[in-house]
Amino acid sequence: MTEFTSDSLTISISLFLVSALAIGISGTMMIAIAERLAKQTGLGEALMGALFLGLSTSLPGIVTSVTAAFGGYGELSISNALGDIAAQTAFLGIADITYLEFNLEYVAASAATLTQGTLLIVLLAIPLLTIANPAFTLWGIHPASIALVFTYIFGLRLVASAQNRPMWTPQQPEKLPIEKPDPSELEPDGLIDLWLRFLLLSVVLAIAGYGLEQTGVSIAKSTHLSENVVGSLFTALSTSLPELVTALVAVRRGALTLAVSNVLGGNSFDILFLSFSDLAYRNGSIYQALTEHEIFILALTIVMTGILVLGLLRREKHGIGNIGFESFLLLLLYVGGFLLVSFS
């Protein structure tokens, strides 16, 4: 029995590494295509990151949350979604460390990214309102799930408006490094070809991300951790790896707004798909599965997002360890918060 467990663990670790490699390669290629699509379609980096790139990198987490809800694991579904958001927000702190010229929030600040951050705070607050009556449903769905969908759609309109017709614009940095594009990227490509390649890479990313999550859960369960710890920490970190890879690649390429918009957009998708998890959950409203751990993580993500928005507003050029105060606090809150969850 011990030999079987050892073999299974070895296979899980091997598949985990293969999936991580696939995510690294596909994420790198996807950022290059997303940049070109943002320019050729006129969408801009903020909207491209918030909508298309955010959705693509969130697919593994979405599949995990909805599948868990359909299987009756409401707590795992919620903790995975909320854990995703906390991890992805903290990843911006890691991306900030890799950008040496200025703090990431200093150069990525715009009316669109600030609107995204504010929208995310509103979306995160809606599930908290269900504490008053988590069991209430209309045709099997909690009204909060309906509110999430309409708030997200309205918020996207605000993001598009803030990008295309901003009421104010931030002061531009004195200098930004200009990265020389790859010669192959200078060759014109048709929009259909670019969209097809982006879609193909999204599928690869989703499959690899789901494989990463499945093997991550298998590895985590060998330690006999609780459902909320597995969901909020291990599966969340596994399914959030696409956002980390794409954020790091985007920063390296100088697509800074795309990096921040991808994370904020992915976070918005994660909280939005609580609505779909609620629809898939067969034991009433999924918000009945909110425990003290999930409420704590929800509050933590609101605080982290608020700090990120403050960082985008303050726009500190250089800070502690050459990163902004907000990046330092994001990493500190994430590590401290999940240590509390793990040992409580």
Beta-bridge partner residues of 296: none
* Whether the predicted pLDDT of 177 surpasses 70: no
In a domain, 180, yes or no: no
Half-sphere exposure of 153 (CA within 13 A, CB side): 5
In a domain, 13, yes or no: yes
pTM, whole model, 2 decimals? 0.80
In a domain, 177, yes or no: no
> Residue 56 burial by CB count (10 A; 0-12/13-18/19+): exposed, middle or buried?
buried
In a domain, 179, yes or no: no
CATH number of the domain at 124, please: 1.20.1420.30
Q: Confidence band (pLDDT; 50, 70, 90) for 173? A: low
The range of the structural domain enclosing residue 220 comes to 2-172+186-343
Residue range 97-121: mean pLDDT, rounded? 82
Report the domain count for the chain: 1
Q: How far apart are CA 312 and CA 306, in angstroms?
A: 10
* Whether the predicted pLDDT of 230 surpasses 60: no
User: Where is pLDDT greater, at 343 or 155?
Assistant: 155
List all residues 6 or more positions away from 15 whose beta carbon is below 8 Å from its beta carbon: 211, 215
In a domain, 258, yes or no: yes
